[in-house]
Amino acid sequence: MKYLIVSDIHGAIDSAEIAIDKFIEEKCDYILCLGDILYHGPRNDLPNSYKPKEVIKLLNEYSDKIIAIKGNCEAEVDEMVLKFKINNSLDMTINGLKCHLEHGHHLDETLEGDYSKYDIILYGHTHVPDNTFKGHTLLFNPGSITLPKNNSKRSYAIWDNNKITLYDILGDELDSYTY
């Protein structure tokens, strides 16, 4: 199966539109949204295209295709207006690999330091892409599609069968991992 991986939209309609456009263009089966969907948070500047009501409307059109994780900026009201479930974290098999999905702000606490039971851990939160290993476990962060940090670019990823590829919002490949 083919997945679009996105994190930290933070209520920016242009970022949500890019995500949906890439989802359609790449013919993905699902969107893995790793949190911080609507609110920009007190530590972030207001995104230029901050229009959470428009983000709600757009994403709700794809509610049956979105697997979402709760970020540190999600509020109870977000879960009330979005038509898809927002999971605290999620363990699932993706393309034959045991995966753990969460936002990342409680990653060590959630896993109690034991990453070994997963092949891949997908997370967001830092707004910085990551493609590193803890033992045999790949930790993958697509960065932020809206508010990148540490001189990274606005980015998302596509997971197609045995390859995860990180792209900037212009569609230029930044990195990839094949297993």
Domains of the chain, with CATH numbers? Answer: 2-178 (3.60.21.10)
Torsion from C-alpha of 12, 13, 16, 20, nearest 10 degrees: -170
Whole-angstrom Cα distance, residue 97 to residue 125? 23
pLDDT at 48 (0 to 100)? 86
pTM for this entry: 0.96
93 band by pLDDT with thresholds 50, 70 and 90: very high
Given a cut of 90, whether residue 109 has pLDDT beyond it is no
40 band by pLDDT with thresholds 50, 70 and 90: confident
- Burial of residue 120 (CB within 10 Å: 0-12, 13-18, 19+) is buried
* pLDDT tens string 138-150: 999 999 999 999 9
Q: How crowded is residue 157: how many other Cβ atoms within 10 Å of its Cβ?
A: 28
pLDDT at 41 (0 to 100)? 81
The fraction of the chain above a pLDDT of 90, given in percent, is 85
- Burial of residue 76 (CB within 10 Å: 0-12, 13-18, 19+) is exposed
Task: Tell which wins on pLDDT, 67 or 108.
Answer: 67
Q: How much is the average pLDDT of 88-105?
A: 96
pLDDT at 44 (0 to 100)? 80
Mean pLDDT, rounded, of the chain: 95
pLDDT at 179 (0 to 100)? 82
Q: Is the separation of the CB atoms in 124 and 34 below 8 Å?
A: yes
108 band by pLDDT with thresholds 50, 70 and 90: confident
